[in-house]
Amino acid sequence: MAKIKITDLDLHYGDFQALDAVNLVIPEHEITAFIGPSGCGKSTMLKSLNRMNDLIEGCKVEGEILLDDKNIQELDVNALRKRVGMVFQKPNPFPMSVYDNIAYGPRTHGVRNKAKLDDIVEKSLHDAAIWDELKDRLKKSALGLSGGQQQRVCIARALAIQPEVLLMDEPTSALDPISTAKIEELVSTLKDEYTIVIVTHNMQQAVRISDRTAFFLHGQIVEHGTTEQLFSIPKDKRTEDYITGRFG
Amino acid sequence: MRKDFDAQLEQLNNELIVMGSLIERSIEMTIKALTEQDKEQAQCAIDFDEAIDQKEKDIESLCLKLILQQQPVAKDLRTVSAALKMITDMERIGDQAADISEIALLLADTSYIKKLEHITLMAEQTAKMVTDSVDAYVQRDLAKARIVIDADDIVDNYFDNVKDDLIALISENVKNGSQAMDLLMIAKYFERIGDHAVNIAEWVEFSITGTHRRSIQS
Does residue A101 surpass a pLDDT of 60?
Answer: yes
Band (B3; pLDDT cuts 50, 70, 90):
confident
Residue A165 is classified by DSSP as: E
Q: Are B33 and B53 in contact (CB under 8 A)?
A: no
CA–CA distance, B161 with A219 (Å, rounded to integer): 64
Does residue B187 surpass a pLDDT of 70?
Answer: yes
Q: Give which of A16, A81, A25, A79 is closest to A48, Cα–Cα.
A: A81
Residue A233 is classified by DSSP as: S
The pLDDT of residue B213 is: 87
Hey, of B3, B71, B73, which one would you mutate to test binding to chain A, going by the most A CBs within 10 A of its CB?
B73
Write out pLDDT tens, residues B56-98: 999 999 999 999 888 999 999 999 999 999 999 999 999 999 9
The pLDDT of residue B69 is: 87
Q: Give which of B93, B94, B122, B96 is closest to B35, Cα–Cα.
A: B122
Mean pLDDT of A199-217: 95
**In chain B, whose CA is at the least distance from the CA of A239?**
B74
> Taking CB atoms and an 8 Å cut-off, how many pairs form between chains A and B?
32
CB contact under 8 A, B73 and A247: no
The amino acid at residue B138 is V
Chain B residues within 8 A of A225 when measuring between CB atoms: none
Band (B215; pLDDT cuts 50, 70, 90):
confident
CB contact under 8 A, A233 and B74: yes
For residue B145, what is the enclosing H or E element?
Answer: helix B142-172
CA–CA distance, B152 with B133 (Å, rounded to integer): 12
A33 lies within 8 A of chain B by CB? no
B67 lies within 8 A of chain A by CB? no
Write out pLDDT tens, residues B33-50: 999 999 999 999 999 999
Of A204, A240, A246, the CB nearest to B2: A246
Mean pLDDT of A24-40: 97
Residue B175 is classified by DSSP as: G
Summary mean pLDDT of chain B? 94
For residue A37, the distance in angstroms to the closest alpha carbon of chain B comes to: 14
The pLDDT of residue B1 is: 59
Of A231, A243, A246, the CB nearest to B1: A246
Q: Are A230 and A248 in contact (CB under 8 A)?
A: no
CB contact under 8 A, B74 and A244: yes
pTM score of the predicted model:
0.83
Residue A195 is classified by DSSP as: E
Chain A residues within 8 A of B75 when measuring between CB atoms: 240, 244
Q: What are phi and psi of A34, to 5 degrees?
A: -105, 125
A229 lies within 8 A of chain B by CB? no
B9 lies within 8 A of chain A by CB? no
CB contact under 8 A, A244 and B2: yes
Does residue A136 surpass a pLDDT of 90?
Answer: yes
The pLDDT of residue A179 is: 85
Band (B217; pLDDT cuts 50, 70, 90):
low
Partners of A215 in the β-ladder:
A35, A223
Q: What are phi and psi of B175, to 5 degrees?
A: -65, -20
For residue A227, the distance in angstroms to the closest alpha carbon of chain B comes to: 11
For residue A241, the distance in angstroms to the closest alpha carbon of chain B comes to: 10
Write out pLDDT tens, residues A159-203: 999 999 999 999 998 888 888 898 899 999 999 999 999 999 999
Maximal CA-CA distance, chain A:
56
Write out pLDDT tens, residues B111-168: 999 888 899 999 999 999 999 999 999 999 999 999 999 999 999 999 999 999 999 9
The pLDDT of residue B216 is: 65
Chain A residues within 8 A of B79 when measuring between CB atoms: none
3-state secondary structure of A220: strand
Burial of B218 (0-12, 13-18, 19+ CB in 10 A): exposed
The pLDDT of residue A182 is: 86
Q: Where are the alpha helices (DSSP H) in B36-115?
A: 39-70, 74-107
Mean pLDDT of A234-247: 92
A240 lies within 8 A of chain B by CB? yes
For residue B39, the distance in angstroms to the closest alpha carbon of chain A comes to: 49
The residue ranking higher by pLDDT, B218 or B145, is B145
For residue B101, the distance in angstroms to the closest alpha carbon of chain A comes to: 42
